[in-house]
Amino acid sequence: MKEIDTAPVVGEISRFPGTTPGRQPEDVYSAIQKINGIVKESSAWIAPLKYELAKVIIGQDHLIERLLVSLITGGHLLLEGLPGLAKTLAVKTLAKVIQTDFKRIQFTPDMLPADIIGTQIYNPRETGFEVKKGPIFSSIILADEINRAPAKVQSALLEAMQERQVTIGDESFTLPELFLVMATQNPIEQEGTYPLPEAQVDRFMLKVIVGYPSREQERMILDSYDQADSEIQVAPVCDPKDILQSREVCNTIYMDEKIRDYIVSLVHATREPEIFQLDIRGYIETGASPRATISLKAVSRCLAFLSGRGYVTPDDVKGAVADVMRHRLRISYEAEAEGISSEDIIRKILDTVPVP
């Protein structure tokens, strides 16, 4: 893919930060049209990638889209679902269609932090310690069944996920530019699972619930595995350079001031629901963090990018809210007792907060 210069377009839009739809200068409309063209050009690899993923992953369109969102935004992804729903297979297949390094880490109760980040080993020849790097030093990390390891192991991921670096001994090491943690977890009701620390959960940009396929989709899965002895082959269609370039383009997508205010209102409704006449205060223990605000902006832009648009609409924001906020809302015991989930609260907020 050829280099795309986005600087002129960014400059044009930044001159009009407070404009609104219907009253924008012609220059802003012109800049948005330019972004539309750049978006279509820089997203040329997405259709082939979806095609390759669809060879293996059947009936999980939302999952595939969220994998792409995570890839383009650079935000970590948490997949939750029962065993056998292709969570691990989806991430492994994604890694195959991208020409980059990939490591799978199987989390178990007896793991140690050094099994992930590495450790210092004594070298008798040099009479000193040398660093042996762990599997975390890869572009794409599949943290399989992440909630089967105890909190001590989970803490080893905190620095890597937030600061994209790892400290071993007295030395800090920078992780690859295209560094992503794509984790799978079983529902916490299952035996042998540990709840993830809240500080770690908040570092996941998205939490996606993976459900069962429909009857028709399951029949397609059954038919596709007639040749179960031979693995379905997928071809690589892009490399990290394509993804990083798309990420740069995604950051230029225009977001109106009213859309930005809408994002802030949705997040604040989880902290101060009474401002929006929402009677849910007793159901929320803690509201969404500022990371939710930042993530909503990034994911909304990415959804616009995947739709081939150079501007964000309220529907993009609405489409992002559930996966961005479901794991950031800590519901109260009262809500649990009444069978109210974080998804129920999010739906009520979406129905109440005025849409621009």
Which CATH number goes with the domain that contains 308? 1.10.8.80
Q: In this structure, are 162 and 200 located in the same domain? A: yes
pLDDT given at position 190: 63
Cα four-point dihedral sign 50, 208, 328, 103: negative
Low-confidence ranges of the chain (pLDDT < 50): 1-2, 8-23
Under DSSP, is residue 93 helix (H, G, I), strand (E, B) or coil?
helix
Question: Is there a contact between 348 and 280 (Cβ–Cβ < 8 Å)?
Answer: yes
Written as six digits, the tokens of 54 are: 């669809």
Closest CA to 287 of 273, 274, 298: 273
pTM (predicted TM-score): 0.85
Q: How far is CA 211 from CA 85, 143, 208, 258, in A?
A: 7, 19, 10, 34
| 39 within some domain | no
Which residues make beta-bridge pairs with 98? Answer: 238
| 287 within some domain | yes
Closest CA to 237 of 94, 139, 138, 104: 94
Q: Tokens 């008798």: give the residue.
A: 124
DSSP string, 251-306: TTSB--HHHHHHHHHHHHTTT-GGGGT---GGGEEE---HHHHHHHHHHHHHHHHH
pLDDT given at position 12: 44
Question: Is there a contact between 102 and 139 (Cβ–Cβ < 8 Å)?
Answer: yes
| 5 within some domain | no
Strand 140-144 to strand 128-133: parallel, antiparallel, or no bridges (unpaired)?
unpaired
Question: Is there a contact between 204 and 327 (Cβ–Cβ < 8 Å)?
Answer: yes
Closest CA to 349 of 257, 287, 285: 287
Question: The domain spanning residue 201 has which CATH number?
Answer: 3.40.50.300
Q: In this structure, are 126 and 162 located in the same domain? A: yes
Q: In this structure, are 102 and 180 located in the same domain? A: yes
Closest CA to 324 of 301, 296, 352, 344: 296
Domain that holds residue 289: 254-356
pLDDT given at position 29: 74
| 282 within some domain | yes
pLDDT given at position 222: 83
Amino acid letter for position 224: S
Q: How far, in Å, CA of 217 to CA of 167, rounded?
A: 45
| 4 within some domain | no
DSSP string, 148-216: GS-HHHHHHHHHHHHHSEEEETTEEEEPPSS-EEEEEE--TTSTT--PPPHHHHTTEEEEEE--PPPHH
pLDDT given at position 89: 86
DSSP string, 316-339: HHHHHHHHHHTTT-EE-HHHHHTT
Domain count, the chain: 2
Q: In this structure, are 195 and 258 located in the same domain? A: no
Buried b (16+ CB within 10 A) or exposed e, 141-169: bbbbbbbbbeeebbebbebbbeeeebebe
Q: In this structure, are 221 and 259 located in the same domain? A: no
Closest CA to 105 of 71, 63, 134, 66: 134
Q: In this structure, are 200 and 94 located in the same domain? A: yes
Q: In this structure, are 58 and 185 located in the same domain? A: yes
pLDDT given at position 191: 66
Q: How far, in Å, CA of 330 to CA of 338, rounded?
A: 15
Written as six digits, the tokens of 62 are: 């939302």
